Amino acid sequence: MAQVSIRKIHKVYDGDVQAVKGIDLEIADHEFVVLVGPSGCGKSTTLRMIAGLEEISSGDILIGNRVVNDVPPRNRDIAMVFQNYALYPHLSVFDNMAFGLKLRKFSRAEIKRRVDEAARILDIASLLDRKPKALSGGQRQRVAMGRAIVRNPLVFLFDEPLSNLDAKLRVQMRTEIKLVHQKVNTTTVYVTHDQVEAMTLADRVVVMNQGIIEQVGPPQELYHHPKTRFVAGFIGSPAMNFLPCHVVQHGDGLAARVDETIVLSIPAARRDRYMPFKDKAMTVGLRPEHMTEIRANGKPGLERIDVRVDVVEPMGMETMVHFMVGRDAMCARIDPNTPAKANAMLPLQADMNNMHLIDPDSGRVV
């Protein structure tokens, strides 16, 4: 097991397409790091560069203090799990898992010991004689993980491993991947476009966008303290609401003036922080769970907004309501017992204590 260092990595395709634009990342030993971002953000390219499947245009990649820029994949001591599993169709489950060990000339007894051990961890001991075609999607995924585990590599690389599974199996396999990591505790780099996967699995999440790293941090930190509008909007489901506003003087303090009727007071504690942005066009970010039905707890910083509801989505333990403020679509998460109807007015309260103020020019949360 080992740490992975990525230093000023660039990847340029065909002379001018910049897939990865000079990223830096330190991954500690035993850490589970998830690279997340929309399609084309460079996360898969980064993973493939760590694996050695893509050449690096410039920069350095170190696995366990060794620069591996020009080391072929087989000598990097890594294992990778692919989106479509990439099991060898003509080999049995046992032989699929043993393939890498046989090439590395392990003894037959050692191969059997390792495969049996991995099969036990993944609960696929009864499938060892089967061919991949006789396995379900979830079983194939486990075999693909088994093939990685038996090698006992320095680093595990996962390239969107759950994307081909149905929703229910995906949740189940997500838990299993986390369990396996807790058991084998190998440094892991995991790529996904699904922010829920990223949040649930990662020790640290790396949010990528257009070839750069937007923010790195533990899931909770990213959720509660996003540094950019992109991270604020990408992490969390449903996504954060964004309301264009002007920061104005309001009595002793400040307020975010959305339009003539909606003026939201900014808590006094944030007054000094937001003062430099007075009289500027800014954006207020509020997560759906911070826009609720009126709750009579009289806490300071709660602002009332009356909205006309467009769509009501009952989810069971909560209800989502969608509505427009000006020309911006918004979403609120309310108590399921609140009477909410489409096309009816609904009073909501915005918890400004959890607001984010975003500078639309730089896209940074201030």
Partner 1 sequence: MCAMSTAVAEPGAVPIRDRSMRRERRWALWGSYIALTVFAFIFLIPPIYTVITSLKTSTEISSRQGSPWLVQNPVLDNFLELAADAHFQAFFWNSIKITVVVVILSMVISILAAFALARMRFWGSAALATGVFLTYLVPESLLFIPMFQIVGSLGLMNSTWCLVLLYPTLTVPFCTWIMIGYFSSIPKELDEAALIDGASYLQMLVKIFIPVAMPGIIAATIFAFTVSWGQFLYPLAFLFSSDQMVLTVGIVTELIRGASAGDHLRIPHGLLHFRPDRRCHQGLTGVNKKLENRQGRTPWPRFRSARSTRSMTAMCRR
> Which residues does 344 contact at the CB level (< 8 Å), separation at least 6?
308, 309
CA atoms of 178 and 191, how far apart (whole Å):
14
> Which residues does 278 contact at the CB level (< 8 Å), separation at least 6?
247, 248, 249, 254
Q: Does 210 bind partner 1 (CB under 8 A)?
A: no
Q: Does 42 bind partner 1 (CB under 8 A)?
A: no
Q: Among 76-84, 168-176, 265-273, 353-361, which window interacts with partner 1 (CB under 8 A)?
A: 76-84
Q: Whose Cβ is closer to partner 1: residue 102's or residue 271's?
A: 102
Q: Does 51 bind partner 1 (CB under 8 A)?
A: yes
Q: Does 15 bind partner 1 (CB under 8 A)?
A: no
Per-residue x/- track, 89-118, partner 1 (CB under 8 A): xx--------xx--xx--------------
Q: Whose Cβ is closer to partner 1: residue 37's or residue 132's?
A: 132
- Closest contact distance (angstroms) between CB of 305 and partner 1 is 46
Residues 144-163 that bind partner 1 (CB under 8 A): 147, 151
Q: Whose Cβ is closer to partner 1: residue 63's or residue 264's?
A: 63
**Count of residues binding partner 1 (CB under 8 A)?**
32
Contacts 24+ apart (CB under 8 A), 131-139: 131/89, 131/90, 131/91, 131/92, 131/93, 132/85, 132/87, 132/88, 132/89, 132/91, 132/93, 132/96, 133/89, 135/93, 137/164, 137/165, 137/166, 137/169, 138/165, 138/169, 138/172, 138/173
Radius of gyration of the chain (CA): 25
Q: Does 132 bind partner 1 (CB under 8 A)?
A: yes
Q: Among 88-96, 171-179, 181-189, 316-324, which window interacts with partner 1 (CB under 8 A)?
A: 88-96
Residue 209's closest CA among 18, 37, 22? Answer: 37
Q: Does 164 bind partner 1 (CB under 8 A)?
A: yes
Structure tokens at 246: 């002007």
**Which residues, listed in sequence order, are joined to residue 349 by a DSSP beta bridge?**
292, 304
**CA dihedral defined by 55, 42, 27, 52, rounded to 10 degrees?**
-20
Q: Binder to partner 1 among 4, 25, 27, 87 (CB under 8 A)?
A: 87
Q: Among 8-16, 82-90, 192-200, 247-255, which window interacts with partner 1 (CB under 8 A)?
A: 82-90
Residues of this chain that interact with partner 1 (CB under 8 A) are 51-53, 72-74, 78-80, 82-90, 99-100, 103-104, 131-133, 135-137, 140, 147, 151, 164
